[in-house]
Structure 1
Amino acid sequence: MLTYLNRLGVNEHIILSAIAIIIGVMVGYGAILFRTLIEGFQHLFFGSSAEDMVQVISGLQWWHVILAPMLGGAIVGPLVHFVFPGSRGHGVPEVMAAVALHGAKMNLKDGIGKMFACSISIGSGGSVGREGPVVHLGATLASWFGKQLNMSTKHMRTMVGCGAAAGIAASFNAPIAGVMFALEVILADYALATFSPIVLSSVIATVIARLHLGDFPAFIVPHYTLVSAWEIPAYVGLGLVCGLTGILFMHTLFKAEDVIGKIAVPRWIKPMFGGMLLGLIALQFPQIMGVGYDTMNKALLEQMIGPTMLMLVFVKILATSLTLGSGFSGGVFTPSLFLGAMVGGAFGTYAHALFPAISAGPGAYTLVGMGAMAAAVLGAPIASILILFELTGDYRIMLALMVASIVATLLINQVYRDSVYTKALRTKNIDLWSGRESGLLRHIPVSAIMKRTFEMIPDSMNIRDLKEKIHRTQEENFLVVNEQGDLKGIVSFQDIRGVAFEQGLEDLVLVRDIATRELITVTPSDNLYDAFRRMGSGNVEQLPVVSEDNRSQVLGIITNHDVIQAYNQALLEREAERELNR
Structure 2
Amino acid sequence: MKHPQADQHHLRDFTTDARVLVIAAIAIVVATAGVGGGIALMHLIRLVTNLAYFGRFTLEDLKLADTPLGLWAVLLPVAGALVIGLMARYGSEKIRGHGIPEAMEAILLGRSRLSAKVAILKPLSSAISIGSGGPFGAEGPVIMTGGAIGSLIAQALPVSDTERKTLLVAGAAAGMTTVFGTPIAAIMLAVELLLFEWTPRSFIPVAVAAIVAEVERTMLHLPSPLFPFHGGMDFSLVGLFGWAFIGLCSGILAVCLSRLVYACEDGFAKLPIHWMWWPMIGGLVVGLGGLIEPNALGVGYDNIARFLDGHVLVESALLLLVVKGVIWSVALGSGTSGGVLAPLLIIGGAMGAAMAGLLPAADPGFWALLAMAATMGATMGAPLTATFFAIEVTGNSHVLVPLTAACVVAYSTTVLVMKRSILTEKIARRGVHLTREYRVDPFALTRVSDVMTTAVETVPAAMTLHAAARFLTAPDTRHPSFPVVDASGHVLGLIDPPAILRWRRAGHHRNATLGELLANGKITLAYPDEYLEGLADKLDIANVSHLPVVSRQDQRLIGYVGWKDLMRVRNRTRAEERERARFFRFDKRGSTRNAD
Q: Please say whether Structure 1 and Structure 2 have the same fold, judged by a TM-score greater than 0.5.
A: yes
Q: Which residue of 2 aligns with 1:293?
A: 301
1:200 counterpart = 2:197: no
One-letter amino acid of the structure 1 residue matched with residue 262 of structure 2:
F
Flag the 1:165–1:434 CA change in 2: closer, same or farther, 3 A: closer
Q: Which residue of 2 aligns with 1:408?
A: 410
The partner residue of 2:135 within 114, 119, 127 is 127
Q: Which residue of 1 aligns with 2:168?
A: 160
Following the alignment from structure 1 to structure 2, what is the Cα–Cα distance between the partners of residues 131 and 392?
17
Q: Which residue of 2 aligns with 1:443?
A: none
Q: Which residue of 2 aligns with 1:368?
A: 370
Q: CA RMSD in A?
A: 2.2
Flag the 1:292–1:26 CA change in 2: closer, same or farther, 3 A: same
Deviations 1:188-212 (A, max 9, x none): 3232222221111111222333333
1:380 counterpart = 2:382: yes
Q: Which residue of 1 aligns with 2:32?
A: 25
Q: Is the 8 A contact 2:116 2:152 kept in 1?
A: yes
Following the alignment from structure 1 to structure 2, what is the Cα–Cα distance between the partners of residues 264 and 82?
20
Flag the 1:340–1:226 CA change in 2: closer, same or farther, 3 A: farther
Q: Which residue of 2 aligns with 1:540?
A: none
Return 246-255 or 321-330, whichever deviates more. Answer: 321-330
Following the alignment from structure 2 to structure 1, what is the Cα–Cα distance between the partners of residues 103 and 25?
23
Q: Which residue of 2 aligns with 1:390?
A: 392
* Structure 2: segments with no counterpart, 5+ residues: 1-16, 438-569, 572-596
1:419 CA drift (Å): 1.4
1:40 CA drift (Å): 0.9
Following the alignment from structure 1 to structure 2, what is the Cα–Cα distance between the partners of residues 218 and 113?
28
Q: Is the 8 A contact 1:348 1:365 kept in 2?
A: yes
Which consecutive segments of 4 or more residues in structure 1 shift more than 6 A? 48-53
Q: Is the 8 A contact 1:226 1:400 kept in 2?
A: no
1:147 counterpart = 2:149: no
Return 203-212 or 161-170, whichever deviates more. Answer: 203-212
Following the alignment from structure 2 to structure 1, what is the Cα–Cα distance between the partners of residues 282 and 79?
11
Q: Which residue of 2 aligns with 1:541?
A: none
Q: Which residue of 1 aligns with 2:81?
A: 73
Matches within 5 A, 1:16-95: 16-47=23-54, 55-95=63-103
Deviations 1:200-238 (A, max 9, x none): 111122233333352333323233244544211111111
1:434 CA drift (Å): 8.7
Following the alignment from structure 1 to structure 2, what is the Cα–Cα distance between the partners of residues 12 and 69?
48
Q: Which residue of 2 aligns with 1:476?
A: none
1:13 CA drift (Å): 2.7
Return 341-350 or 100-109, whichever deviates more. Answer: 100-109
Q: Is the 8 A contact 1:29 1:209 kept in 2?
A: no
Flag the 1:434–1:313 CA change in 2: closer, same or farther, 3 A: closer
Following the alignment from structure 1 to structure 2, what is the Cα–Cα distance between the partners of residues 200 and 260?
42
- Percent of pairs identical after alignment? 29
Q: Which residue of 2 aligns with 1:519?
A: none
Q: Which residue of 1 aligns with 2:284?
A: 276
Following the alignment from structure 1 to structure 2, what is the Cα–Cα distance between the partners of residues 423 and 273?
23
Flag the 1:105–1:59 CA change in 2: closer, same or farther, 3 A: closer
One-letter amino acid of the structure 1 residue matched with residue 402 of structure 2:
A
Q: Is the 8 A contact 1:28 1:204 kept in 2?
A: no
Tell me the secondary structure at the aligned position of residue 264 of structure 1.
coil
Following the alignment from structure 1 to structure 2, what is the Cα–Cα distance between the partners of residues 391 and 434?
26
Following the alignment from structure 2 to structure 1, what is the Cα–Cα distance between the partners of residues 81 and 370?
34
One-letter amino acid of the structure 2 residue matched with residue 401 of structure 1:
L
1:376 CA drift (Å): 0.3
1:271 CA drift (Å): 2.1
Deviations 1:493-552 (A, max 9, x none): xxxxxxxxxxxxxxxxxxxxxxxxxxxxxxxxxxxxxxxxxxx99xxxxxxxxxxxxxxx
1:163 CA drift (Å): 1.2
Q: Which residue of 1 aligns with 2:584?
A: none
1:130 CA drift (Å): 1.4
Following the alignment from structure 2 to structure 1, what is the Cα–Cα distance between the partners of residues 427 and 336?
18
Matches within 5 A, 1:283-322: 283-322=291-330
Q: How many residues align?
A: 421
Deviations 1:305-354 (A, max 9, x none): 12221232222121101212223211212111111111111121332xxx
Q: Is the 8 A contact 1:32 1:209 kept in 2?
A: no
Following the alignment from structure 1 to structure 2, what is the Cα–Cα distance between the partners of residues 117 and 424?
19
Q: Is the 8 A contact 1:140 1:160 kept in 2?
A: yes
One-letter amino acid of the structure 1 residue matched with residue 367 of structure 2:
Y
The partner residue of 1:242 within 250, 254, 258 is 250
1:278 CA drift (Å): 1.3
Following the alignment from structure 2 to structure 1, what is the Cα–Cα distance between the partners of residues 95 and 83?
14
Q: Which residue of 2 aligns with 1:102?
A: 110
Following the alignment from structure 2 to structure 1, what is the Cα–Cα distance between the partners of residues 156 and 67?
49
1:68 CA drift (Å): 1.6
Following the alignment from structure 2 to structure 1, what is the Cα–Cα distance between the partners of residues 391 and 291?
35
Q: Is the 8 A contact 1:274 1:323 kept in 2?
A: yes
Q: Is the 8 A contact 1:128 1:323 kept in 2?
A: no
Matches within 5 A, 1:171-182: 171-182=179-190
1:28 CA drift (Å): 0.6
**Could you tell me the TM-score, scaled by structure 2's length?**
0.67
Larger Rg: 2
Tell me the secondary structure at the aligned position of residue 276 of structure 2.
coil
Deviations 1:441-493 (A, max 9, x none): xxxxxxxxxxxxxxxxxxxxxxxxxxxxxxxxxxxxxxxxxxxxxxxxxxxxx
One-letter amino acid of the structure 2 residue matched with residue 182 of structure 1:
A
One-letter amino acid of the structure 1 residue matched with residue 408 of structure 2:
I
